[in-house]
Amino acid sequence: MASFIDDLLRGYADLRRVLTRELSADDAADIAQSSFEQVLRYAGQRPVESPAGLLFAISRNQQIDSARRRKRVPHQSLDDVDGLVDQLPVSELTPERRYAARQRMEILGKALDALPPRCREAFVLCKLHGLSYDETAQEMGISTTVVRKYLVQAMKECRIALL
């Protein structure tokens, strides 16, 4: 059992190093931890000859799943400003308000387009598609803590852009 744990811990350290070269530190930590947990669950059910090998295989599969999920969520730009402005209540749509709303939406669109892709994806899923933090985390294959971090970053950039 000691060699299993030693092999798994060495594999975990190696996996973190490899993932950190390919992904953000947060995403690398999330995938490595999730893979580690899956190896432990699997090892509780059947014998494992190479814990590190299984750890890397699970990690690779998680990265593939994550890439597939990202492809399913289309990049949603705010280029259709008129369409978004048209969603405002008609009674409040004076020409001045329509113009001001269009300007604010263009500014927000530029701010969101300037965000890192994963940050923008979290914002779109939560704020435009109405997913909860947990649902967004599951869809993106990250933790809710990272989702919160991304949303704080996105909201901060939007606030700065509107000032």
State pLDDT tens for residues 19-71: 888 777 888 888 888 899 999 988 888 888 888 898 999 988 888 777 666 66
> The tokens 């965000």 sit on which residue?
115
Nearest to 122 by CA among 75, 159, 59, 62: 75
Measure CA of the first residue to CA of the last residue in the chain; give whole Å: 59
Per-residue model confidence as pLDDT tens digits over 125-144? 888 888 888 888 888 889 99
CATH topology classification for 81-162:
Arc Repressor Mutant, subunit A (1.10.10)
Could you tell me which residues come within 8 angstroms of residue 68 by beta carbon, excluding any fewer than 6 positions away?
Answer: none
SS3 content of the chain, % helix, strand, coil (to 5): 80, 0, 20
Q: Quick: pLDDT tens for 78-127.
A: 555 555 555 555 555 677 877 887 888 888 888 888 999 999 999 988 88
Q: What is the pTM of this model?
A: 0.47
